[in-house]
Structure 1
Amino acid sequence: MGDGGEDVIADRGSRIEKAGLLPDKSEIPKPQSEILADLHIHTVLSPCAEVEMIPPHLVRRALDLGLELIAVTDHNAAENCAAVIQAAAGTGLTVLPGMEVQTSEEVHVLCWFDTVEQVLTWQGIVFNHLPKRNNPEEVFGAQYVVDAGGDYLRTETQLLLTSTDLTLSQVIKRVQALGGLAVPAHVDRPSFSLLANLGFVPADLQAPALELSRLTDPAEAVVRWPDLAHWPLIRGSDTHRLSEMAPSLRLYLDDTTLAEMALALAGQNGRRFAVLPRNPVDDCYRA
């Protein structure tokens, strides 16, 4: 790897290790699996998602696309994670419970966990830091909690499309304290992103990676924002409708755990990742 590539990889690993995200190296086997993943998917709990985004449809679409790992990341809530996990049981598809949090700076952050218990604990914290306002369905749309079959259970009345009063730094630290990983989302977008709202990547940001939107390739991103070359750049579909779902990452892991993902993002112990080509459906949205 030329042009300082080794230094970039070393910098990535050092940053993630300092954040305390890596397991004991003496206990780490070599990776055995190559896994297709999409780690940014919304369900009908997100008011901006289509009504087709229910667990059985998500799982079927993911399997049809050859996905082996997905993450459910609704806006400021996680109550449909368990239903998607249940819908995927026995299919070979692993579902990570997660959330897309909006910080006080109006920056979106992907939060991934290993267990439903962890993500629901995080949801309780997030709800305590949201403004106590009801969701205006006529403005944003409904927020549905459903079961594994996609049947209606209830409507979430708490306004989800809004900012918490937690800062970016607080979100990352609290998620990590719960055993999760937190990654700033779609940093290249003109709204609700790290670069749009802060204008730069903080030097002390303790995140394992940065996510690009599905419309931007890493090579394009580092030309426009040279500082991003020092970061692992991943991509997720940010799926709000089934046609948007697509394999976004190829992960080389021993298991589909966050500890393994942290190693892959750091490029350590044989773990690594590759960003896959864009979904052709998205090319019509590019300028």
Structure 2
Amino acid sequence: MMLRLPRRNGEWAVPEVQATRHGWAQFWAVDLHVHTPGSSDAQDADYGDAGDIVRAAIAAGLDGIAITDHNTATWCEQVAAAANASNLVVLPGFELSTPEGHLLGIWEEGTKAHVLEDVLIRVGITRTQFGDLDVVTSKSMIECAKEIEQAGGVAIAAHIDKERGILTQPVQTYVNQLLADPAISAYEYVNVDTPTKVAAKLAGKRDPALVQNSDTYDPTLSRHSVTAIGRRRTWIKAARPDLCGLRYALDDHRLRVTLTDPRAALPPHPTIDAVRIADGFLSGVSISLSPDLNCFLGGTGAGKSLVLEAIRFALDQQVDGSVFTAIRDEVDGRLAHALRQGTEVSVEVTTTTEKYRIRRSFDLRGTKPVVEQHVDSDWVEIERDPSTLIAIAAFSQGEILEYARQPVGRVGLVDAHLDLSSIDQRIAAAEQGLRANAAKLVVARNKVTELGERASRMTTLRERARELSTLFDADLVKAQANWTAEQSELKTLAEQVDTLTFTAPQETSRISEKLPEHKDKYERIKQAQDEPPRV
């Protein structure tokens, strides 16, 4: 988007907002290789009429298609007519059968069929041969590509890695020449490894655009069919998916051509849709902004910086006065002069799900932004901090100069706008791992201490065992063992003695007289009965 601020008769006029002819550039899904019953190898029953083809393309989510029947442009105009009531862009074209392989020729929408037919005739295909798959042009692929280009079209080599594709040619030197010739704007491929092969053949001599299209070939039917439209596709970034947009995309394919849906790959982000200033220097100005790149163009004093400062003012994201006091005072003075007291600035913002409007009136005494949400075709005031809806990074020339003078400030500025989330996650994971390792080290250290203490005790025990072993080898220990054995035997005898019973005869004197020779034994027995045993 471009904002022009012209000067008329010495006075700055109200800015004119100019956008591209068709709107903002965006990615469009296109299938540039679509057959119809106009091709001799396609059957009417597999396609239906022109309206069926248009409906199938729309149902497949396509924004544009190119009708490329074999050596004919018969169906181009009727398919384009069937798409008039829709937003589908239909580009006329054909698929040429050249000696080296098939070549697509594509023209701007609305190009009459006779323009394409004249090219067919110039490359050697007669009217009676229109639509014949097996007829071959009298000119080479490069010559045919140049004829297409001179007639206002774009030439794309078709299915280069399949049957009747240029990579199947036997002479590889000639294949390399076909890949390197700028007359061919792009190369259509099918197999995933083909880009690597093409890059190897070109060896840096050229970096052409590589695209994918359906060829409306349904592998389940093994033939062309309307059911295959959009099965393979390419996304081009342009203001509109017409031939003009296609040319720009192919010329800048690294940024403008992709084979995966960029709308699904890119995360949604908030955008500033419009800025309106009610009074002051830019009284009545309403600026619509692109969701992508915007550029304000104008001479000195045209109001470019004022628009940016007005946006910062409305969103309450102005110069930090505590860091850049002089610059903040300068900006406030400029706003006071250009906006004037009471002038309202409104900024419309779209988040991933909702639309908001932030309004703020300029007052030297200070004001706060008013946030409104778009609900049921009306604006409803809500409590919300504008910075939670959209955060901007805007810098005046003075700020940039101050940052340039402060090395620390420059580093802080860079760090503030780098996405370090992945690095922060890795640091957090590393810290968590270190904490876990520290806990394990504490346990291991305690274990080592415990083992050390046990080892110390083990040394003492070993020494004690050695001493005891020496002691056990001595005669004293052996005598102790003998004494223990004798003690055990004596204890057993004592127990036996305790259990002995003896009944003395009542006529002891008589017995004694009769058995004088046993008197001493008797006395000993009596004494044993009267005294306890000694161990």
Same fold (TM over 0.5): yes
Instruction: Find the counterpart in structure 2 of residue 280 from structure 1.
Output: none
Write the distance in 1 (CA, Å) between the matches of 2:114 and 2:88: 21
Q: Does structure 1 conserve the Cα–Cα contact (< 8 Å) formed by 2:119 and 2:148?
A: no
Instruction: Find the counterpart in structure 2 of residue 227 from structure 1.
Output: 201
Write the distance in 2 (CA, Å) between the matches of 1:185 and 1:163: 15
Matches within 5 A, 1:131-150: none
How much does 1:116 deviate?
4.7
Write the distance in 2 (CA, Å) between the matches of 1:93 and 1:99: 19
2:244 aligned to which of 259, 263, 266 = 259
How much does 1:254 deviate?
0.8
Write the distance in 2 (CA, Å) between the matches of 1:237 and 1:257: 18
Q: Which has the larger radius of gyration?
A: 2
2:260 aligned to which of 273, 276, 279 = 276
Secondary structure (helix, strand or coil) at the match of 1:250 reads strand
Residues 1:113 and 2:88 aligned together = no
Taking structure 1 as reference, are residues 267 and 60 closer, same or farther at Cα in structure 2, changes over 3 Å only? same
Write the distance in 2 (CA, Å) between the matches of 1:249 and 1:42: 17
2:235 aligned to which of 224, 233, 250 = 250
Taking structure 1 as reference, are residues 44 and 168 closer, same or farther at Cα in structure 2, changes over 3 Å only? same
Q: Does structure 2 conserve the Cα–Cα contact (< 8 Å) formed by 1:77 and 1:160?
A: no
Secondary structure (helix, strand or coil) at the match of 1:101 reads strand
Secondary structure (helix, strand or coil) at the match of 1:183 reads strand
TM-score of the two chains, using structure 2 as the length reference:
0.38
TM-score of the two chains, using structure 1 as the length reference:
0.69
Moved more, 89-98 or 115-124: 115-124
Taking structure 1 as reference, are residues 119 and 182 closer, same or farther at Cα in structure 2, changes over 3 Å only? farther
Taking structure 1 as reference, are residues 195 and 109 closer, same or farther at Cα in structure 2, changes over 3 Å only? same
Instruction: Find the counterpart in structure 2 of residue 48 from structure 1.
Output: 41
Taking structure 1 as reference, are residues 49 and 193 closer, same or farther at Cα in structure 2, changes over 3 Å only? same
Q: Give the aligned residue type for 1:39.
A: L
Instruction: Find the counterpart in structure 1 of residue 30 from structure 2.
Output: 37
Q: Give the aligned residue type for 1:168.
A: M
Instruction: Find the counterpart in structure 1 of residue 80 from structure 2.
Output: 85
Count, aligned residues: 223
How much does 1:204 deviate?
3.2
How much does 1:29 deviate?
9.6
Q: Does structure 1 conserve the Cα–Cα contact (< 8 Å) formed by 2:63 and 2:241?
A: no
1:185 aligned to which of 132, 135, 158 = 158
Instruction: Find the counterpart in structure 1 of residue 137 from structure 2.
Output: 164
Q: Does structure 2 conserve the Cα–Cα contact (< 8 Å) formed by 1:118 and 1:178?
A: no
2:148 aligned to which of 175, 178, 193 = 175
Secondary structure (helix, strand or coil) at the match of 2:54 reads helix
Q: Does structure 1 conserve the Cα–Cα contact (< 8 Å) formed by 2:89 and 2:242?
A: no
Residues 1:208 and 2:212 aligned together = no
Q: Give the aligned residue type for 2:214.
A: S
Moved more, 242-251 or 162-171: 242-251
4+ residue runs over 6 A deviation? 27-30
Write the distance in 1 (CA, Å) between the matches of 2:127 and 2:83: 33
Write the distance in 1 (CA, Å) between the matches of 2:121 and 2:155: 17
* CA displacement, residues 193-215 of structure 1 (integer Å, 9 cap, x when unaligned): 111125323133422211113xx
Instruction: Find the counterpart in structure 2 of residue 13 from structure 1.
Output: none
Write the distance in 1 (CA, Å) between the matches of 2:115 and 2:150: 11
Write the distance in 1 (CA, Å) between the matches of 2:196 and 2:69: 31
Write the distance in 1 (CA, Å) between the matches of 2:50 and 2:23: 33
Taking structure 1 as reference, are residues 243 and 206 closer, same or farther at Cα in structure 2, changes over 3 Å only? same
Write the distance in 2 (CA, Å) between the matches of 1:128 and 1:29: 34
Q: Give the aligned residue type for 1:114.
A: E
Taking structure 1 as reference, are residues 119 and 196 closer, same or farther at Cα in structure 2, changes over 3 Å only? farther
* Structure 2, gaps ≥5 residues long: 1-19, 217-223, 262-535
Residues 1:196 and 2:168 aligned together = yes
Secondary structure (helix, strand or coil) at the match of 2:161 reads coil
Q: Give the aligned residue type for 1:64.
A: A
Write the distance in 1 (CA, Å) between the matches of 2:142 and 2:215: 22
How much does 1:49 deviate?
1.3
| Percent pairwise identity | 26
Write the distance in 2 (CA, Å) between the matches of 1:82 and 1:101: 18
Taking structure 1 as reference, are residues 132 and 186 closer, same or farther at Cα in structure 2, changes over 3 Å only? same
Write the distance in 1 (CA, Å) between the matches of 2:73 and 2:152: 16
User: RMSD of aligned C-alpha atoms?
Assistant: 2.8
How much does 1:50 deviate?
2.7
Write the distance in 2 (CA, Å) between the matches of 1:222 and 1:62: 27
2:94 aligned to which of 88, 99, 105 = 99
* CA displacement, residues 121-158 of structure 1 (integer Å, 9 cap, x when unaligned): 231331454466967xxxxxxxxxxxxxxxxxxxx7x6
How much does 1:82 deviate?
0.2
How much does 1:65 deviate?
1.0
Q: Give the aligned residue type for 1:275.
A: L
Higher helix share: 2
Taking structure 1 as reference, are residues 273 and 30 closer, same or farther at Cα in structure 2, changes over 3 Å only? farther
Instruction: Find the counterpart in structure 1 of residue 275 from structure 2.
Output: none
Instruction: Find the counterpart in structure 2 of residue 74 from structure 1.
Output: 69
How much does 1:260 deviate?
1.8
Write the distance in 1 (CA, Å) between the matches of 2:122 and 2:252: 36
